[in-house]
Structure 1
Amino acid sequence: MSEQHVVVSGAQIEAKLTRVSAAVILREQDGKPGYLLAQRPPGKAYAGYWEFPGGKVEAGESFAEALVRELQEELGITVTEMTPWITRHFVYPHARVEIRFFRVTSWDGLVHPLEHTAMAWLDCHVMAGVLDLEAMTPPFPVQPVLPANTPILRALALPDVYAITNALANGLEAELLRLRHARPPLVQVRDKELSDSERVAFCRAVVAEVHAYGGLVLLNGSEAAVSACGVDGLHLTAAALMDCHARPDWPLVFASCHTAEELSKACALGLDAAVLGPVARTDTHPDQTPMGWDSFALLITESAIPVYALGGMTRQDVDVAKARGAQGVGMMRGW
């Protein structure tokens, strides 16, 4: 990588890109998902800040190889299962970094802070919902968190299934009953075939059902429609995404993507997540050629936001999607 000049706080500094691997170490304790943060020791930049463990990629190493080595050195564990996830680019006053985050789900050895001052296992939902994360204010249990890491905390609050309503096929009342029984934590109201008045009424009913059990609802539509329905956020079509010049002013904003250009735009706008597809053939668009898992994985390799695989997905595809770097799957059927 050639040396580049980066402007930081009005001062021009010379900085080579530093490649970093970071581990989102996940475990389940008493039925609750959790992750590990570690505190940077004295003598290092941002001493006392909390971060996801990891470190620099050395010459000749892949990101994955660097992470295995770093976790042996920092925590005394040997990784046995990990999957790629999100890639963040961040400019600190002292460095310009590319951080590739991996989800680590299995390892040998006991986790010990060999190079950190302390460590803490946190509940994935300790932030009390994704809507409260932007300021990272108390009662978040450890502070401060390294700036490049805070978007990952927000992503950790998102589930691995993004449920999409299908009232046209199931009927309005049946779809509401399906929500009541399945209780998906994150729901997109789509149902564009309904009339405007039917769609608003249905959306409000969905919000009542989902909010009753603590879930969140996004509406696939215009910002005006979102305001009328009382939902938690906006889901942009690919066309609406490409027309955006700034992130819409909603706590949660997702977008539908089909190409690298669209996904890049979603990342540049700082959206919360994207859906990308179709990965497989779908009943909704049977004539559309699917991209397949290999193309999907390639497109999201450097995505700075979580991406859900869309198109022909079932719950059995969740682990497949995660292995390819996805947040999980989006689906209309089977949730």
Structure 2
Amino acid sequence: MNELHIPNGYYQLWKMYLLSQGLDYQHLDSIAPYISQLDHVLSQPIDSQSPYTFFNTVMQATQQELNCPNLVFEMAELIRPEHFGVLGYMATRSNSVAEALQYIMKFSRLVIDGVDITPMQLSYVGDEFYLTWPMHDAKYALVNELTTACMAHLAKQIFPASLVLNCMKFAHAQQMARFHYEKFFGCKIEFEHSEYAFVLNSASLDVKSALADPSLMQLLLKQAEDAIASKPRIENIEQQLHLHIAQYLKQYAQAPKIEQIADELYTSVRTLQRQLAEADSSFKKVLEIERMKRIEQLLLQPLSLLDIALQLGYSDQSALARAYKSYTGQTLLQRRKALKLLSSDL
């Protein structure tokens, strides 16, 4: 599956929005060329998936005809659990915010799927927690905005008045007037950030849901596990590994172990090793490549070579120097000098 796929629930949400405005998609001029394909998609189960490229085309045409730049936010106001399929119901019936996030991270492929997707990660900074994911391409700006908006609004329904968003960070550039973002999310907004992130108080993780249903959750969990098991394996496991290791090195300032990355990819160490071997690669090889890339970034920072070595999991400065010289043919001091010259020229 090379193309990004989204839930058909997004198409149903789009149709629901038009109906709320007294409009029928079959009578919109801009949608006329796509009626046949839309009829087919809308006839499919709400929890099945369809290509994102077509959805993006439909959304852009709708925005232009209705002169509605904030269409994603208008649609998100109508979100219901079923638009996210079984994962939406699982979030609704979770006991707490922490449990809901656990399921979202584990079963995200049931909503948006494809080689370019990296599961969301949870991290802590002081008394805040961050739910983050990287940007793979600016062409996915619309689906990222719609998904974040739908998640935020659904969370308000599940945990009313208890869940306060401190900040919403977007990795892409601003797509509409800032007013629309601030009005919808009700918090500080940042654009062109290093990654996407929901930022909330850590205490929010313990917020309980009045809709929790442990018995129903067991049935939903089994359904989600079966759905994940039936999905085709994402072939480019090496690309996924590169993304996860790069993010780990940046976030934790230490080298990950294969067990940690396997957990993030929701697979076993043995399966991960087998998949990498089939791709003529290995965890050690990918880790070393990402270490070398990270060195380039760290050399521009006021860090000693020993600090850089320790951040990347080398025993000492000498081990780092030998690895870098073997990989690039340059010494660390030569590269640091060259990078500083490049930086001063910009």
TM-score range relative to shorter protein: under 0.3
Q: Which structure has the larger Rg? A: 2
For normalisation by structure 1, the TM-score amounts to: 0.25
Greater strand share, 1 or 2?
1
Higher helix share: 2
Normalization by structure 2: what TM-score?
0.25
